Amino acid sequence: MKLTVAVLTLALTATTACAPFWPSNRWAGKPMFTVSNLQPGQLAGTWYQVASFPQEFQRGCGLTTATYTPREDGTVGVLNQCEVKGQPGHVWQIAGTARLVGPGQFKVRLDGVPVPAGYWVLDISRDGRTIIVGNPNRLGGWVLSRDRSFSPQQWDRAVEVFARNGYDVAALQRSPLK
């Protein structure tokens, strides 16, 4: 009996360890706090994902980047890429556009994805080199940095921002940076 319980516990742990993040219902309908003075041009360039909440569509990703390009029509071009773990030189990517729809709030349309997604900038560091992004349903959250470094102070700030916005911060994970 003890062996059966141990095997079952191990199996449940293994299957839930890779499960995507799912937010708590206790935050449904509660406000989220976005950066009020963000200009799309502040996002221009390449950002490295240094931490995130697990997402099924990112399973198998190593180094993940987001490149934003402001366009003349006021939208922002989006190119998300990740290196496939264990397959050097193999990159997955998806492109699209983002449109500012409110203070710190974007609607992102990605090629091949039928529904646009909310992309809310929850925090930007004073030096503008780190941004914390979530979405209104709290299903996704990412910490992006201009470089691959991620200090303990940046981690603490990310935990604080996500907690204030109703995320289960225990599910936040550091991202592979190689």
pLDDT greater than 90 at residue 177: no
- Summarize pLDDT for 51-104 with one digit per residue, the tens: 998 777 677 677 889 999 999 999 999 999 988 877 777 888 999 999 999 999
Query: What is the DSSP secondary structure assignment for residue 48, as one 8-state letter?
Result: E
Task: Band the pLDDT of 33: cuts 50, 70, 90.
Answer: very high
Residue 21 resides in a domain: no
Q: Which domain holds residue 72?
A: 30-174
Q: Is 11 exposed, middle or buried (0-12, 13-18, 19+ CB in 10 A)?
A: exposed
For the chain, the domain total comes to: 1
pLDDT of residue 8: 32
**Which pLDDT score is estimated for 100?**
95
Is 23 inside any structural domain? Answer: no
Domain assignment present for residue 89? The answer is yes
CA dist., res. 21 & res. 19, Å (int): 7
CATH of the domain at 72: 2.40.128.20
- What pLDDT sits at residue 114? 92
Instruction: Identify the residue with better confidence: 12 or 146.
Output: 146
**Could you tell me if residue 156 is inside a domain?**
yes
Asked if residue 25 belongs to a domain, the reply is no
Does residue 55 belong to any structural domain of this protein? yes
Asked if the structure places residue 158 within a domain, the reply is: yes
pLDDT at 3: 35
Q: CA separation (Å) from 50 to 6, 33, 130, 142, 178?
A: 34, 21, 9, 8, 11
- Give me the pLDDT at residue 163, please: 93
Given a contact cutoff of 8 angstroms between Cβ atoms, the answer to whether 95 and 117 are in contact is no
**Does residue 2 form part of some domain?**
no
